[in-house]
């Protein structure tokens, strides 16, 4: 794993050699971070400077140094510890509103280019990023250098984004909190991708940064397009598994109330005909939503219901240790945002989203492994799985609806 120091034009100028250890973590929803331990007598002077850009040969992202500390380790040796965050953290230094720029009192503000701030969640995030970090005319100094329009990574064939329009409104906050909240509810990744500039005949091709709102690929065994990625004890790439399932706090539908109307919102995948003891109702007070009527109000209430239901999902505890030098290679077999499978020894299949990728290097060698977050579970004997005790060749003309 090669670590590089970049210059002010985001070009690699020096390679960091002879470091003691390095941990580089990239995240699907939020900013990443790194820690580099190195002998201070061998460290390049730039590593002591806050704001120095750092890159990794295995990554498309840039991180900035924000902390440098020299201390003795357990062996009494002096070590320079350098830490920092990825460029996405700059959203913590940007507001999510513009009304205060001209002295207007800050109020709840609608987002998006559509009518009264409506749009798909992905498009609203794109609008926020574009409006406040690339095309900001209220305070142009808030715009980011090197940032250009467009994307560089194809999302063709990826998991579809939530396609319904929503009406999102928020009070004054950081742009980071606002974007991350939307991304987590609708399972969207947000990253700032770097493309290094190069000298070309007759001039220079400057470095570029691209905001990308993206999703991963379905790599479960429930699809037949992409090669599946399965973590299981039987495959020797998952150990020390722990299983726990609880519906104690689960809600599958919400009654969203407002002085002007009431809305019924169902959790993802729940049939509106659900009845009796199967109805797990959450009461949501949306009376604080103001300035909207009719359809825009209904959209805002539906959004509030989805957010609250997301906080009251089924608690699934199925986890394990992923082999650090296992079956799958990051960037080849899976990427951030991909949907993969974990399988327990009892046959429970849990669909998980890759939300972190960790690169580590120390005296024991180089390692790369993911962090997985729960999405859904399939239990043997349910409609979603083959019936217990049967195999595929037992079936002839049956279809899923009758199995």
Return d(Cα 247, Cα 279) in angstroms, integer: 12
Neighbours of 367 (CB within 10 A): 15
Work out the average pLDDT over 12-39.
Answer: 93
Check whether 225 has a pLDDT greater than 50: yes
Q: What is the model's pLDDT at position 324?
A: 65
Q: Given pLDDT bands bounded at 50, 70 and 90, which one contains residue 390? A: very low
Rounded (5°) CA angle 106-111-117: 115
Name the H helices within 236-377. 294-310
Q: What is the model's pLDDT at position 108?
A: 66
User: Considering only CA atoms, which of 89, 93, 67 is closest in space to residue 80?
Assistant: 67
Give the end-to-end CA distance of the chain in Å, rounded to a whole number. 49
User: If phi over 0 gives left and psi between -120 and 50 gives alpha, with beta otherwise, what is residue 154?
Assistant: beta
Q: What is the model's pLDDT at position 143?
A: 95
Rounded (5°) CA angle 216-186-95: 110
Rounded (5°) CA angle 61-230-355: 30
- Cβ atoms of 188 and 119 closer than 8 Å: no
Q: What are 105's two structure tokens? A: 């009192």
Check whether 3 has a pLDDT greater than 90: yes
Q: What are 35's two structure tokens? A: 């820690």
Backbone angles phi, psi at 244, to 5 degrees: -155, 130
In tens, the pLDDT along 118-147 reads: 788 999 999 999 999 999 988 899 999 999
Q: What is the pTM of this model?
A: 0.76
- Cβ atoms of 297 and 230 closer than 8 Å: no
Task: Give the distance between the most distant pair of CA atoms in the chain.
Answer: 74
Measure the CA dihedral 147/152/156/162, to 10°: -20
Mean pLDDT is lowest, of 226-230, 237-241, 337-341, for 237-241
Q: What is the model's pLDDT at position 209?
A: 97
Q: What are 258's two structure tokens? A: 């407002």
User: Considering only CA atoms, which of 70, 96, 271 is closest in space to residue 178?
Assistant: 96
Return d(Cα 174, Cα 130) in angstroms, integer: 15
Q: What is the model's pLDDT at position 204?
A: 76
Check whether 378 has a pLDDT greater than 60: no
Q: Given pLDDT bands bounded at 50, 70 and 90, which one contains residue 364? A: confident
Tell me the DSSP string of 170-196. Answer: E-S-BHHHHHHHHHHHHT-EEEEEEE-
Contacts of 320 (CB under 8 A, 6+ apart): 231, 233, 238, 239, 240, 241, 242, 342
How far does Cα 52 stand from its chain's mean position? Answer: 25
Mean pLDDT of the chain: 84
Residue 347 CA: distances (Å) to CA of 29, 97, 223, 239, 353: 30, 49, 18, 15, 19
Return d(Cα 177, Cα 248) in angstroms, integer: 29
Name the β-bridge partners of 118. 167
């Amino acid at each position: 794993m090669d670590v590089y120091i970049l210059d002010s034009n985001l070009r690699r100028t020096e390679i960091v050699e002879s470091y003691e250890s390095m941990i580089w973590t990239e995240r699907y929803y939020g900013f990443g971070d790194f820690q580099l331990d190195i002998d201070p007598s061998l460290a390049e002077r730039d590593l002591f400077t806050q704001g120095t850009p750092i890159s990794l040969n295995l990554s498309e992202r840039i991180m900035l140094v924000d902390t440098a500390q020299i201390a003795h380790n357990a062996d009494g040796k002096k070590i320079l510890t350098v830490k920092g965050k990825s460029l996405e953290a700059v959203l913590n230094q940007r507001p999510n509103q513009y009304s205060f720029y001209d002295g207007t009192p800050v109020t709840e503000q609608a987002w998006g280019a559509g009518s009264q701030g409506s749009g798909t969640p992905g498009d609203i995030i794109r609008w926020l990023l574009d409006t406040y970090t690339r095309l900001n005319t209220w305070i142009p100094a808030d715009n980011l250098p090197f940032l250009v329009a467009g994307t560089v990574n194809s999302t063709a064939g990826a998991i579809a984004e939530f396609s319904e329009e929503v009406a999102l409104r928020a009070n004054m906050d950081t742009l980071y909190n606002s974007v991350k909240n939307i991304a987590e509810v609708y399972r969207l990744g947000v990253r700032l991708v770097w493309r290094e500039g190069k000298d070309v005949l007759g001039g220079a091709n400057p470095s570029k940064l691209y905001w990308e709102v993206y999703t991963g690929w379905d790599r479960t065994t429930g699809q037949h397009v992409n090669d599946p990625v399965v973590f299981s004890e039987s495959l020797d790439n998952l150990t020390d598994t722990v299983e726990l399932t609880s519906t104690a706090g689960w809600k599958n539908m919400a009654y969203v109330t407002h002085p002007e109307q009431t809305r019924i919102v169902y959790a993802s995948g729940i049939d509106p005909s659900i009845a009796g003891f199967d109805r797990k109702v959450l009461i949501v007070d949306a009376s604080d939503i103001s300035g909207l009527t009719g359809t825009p109000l209904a959209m805002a209430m539906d959004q509030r219901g989805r957010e609250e239901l997301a906080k009251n999902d089924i608690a699934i505890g199925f986890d394990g240790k992923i082999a650090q030098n296992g079956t799958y290679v990051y960037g080849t077999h899976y990427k951030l945002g991909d949907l993969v499978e974990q399988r327990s020894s009892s046959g429970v299949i849990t669909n998980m989203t890759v939300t972190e990728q960790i690169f580590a290097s120390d005296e024991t060698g180089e390692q790369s492994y993911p962090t997985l977050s729960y999405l859904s579970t399939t239990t043997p004997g349910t409609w979603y799985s083959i019936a217990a005790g049967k195999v595929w060749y037992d079936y002839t003309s049956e279809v899923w609806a009758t199995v």
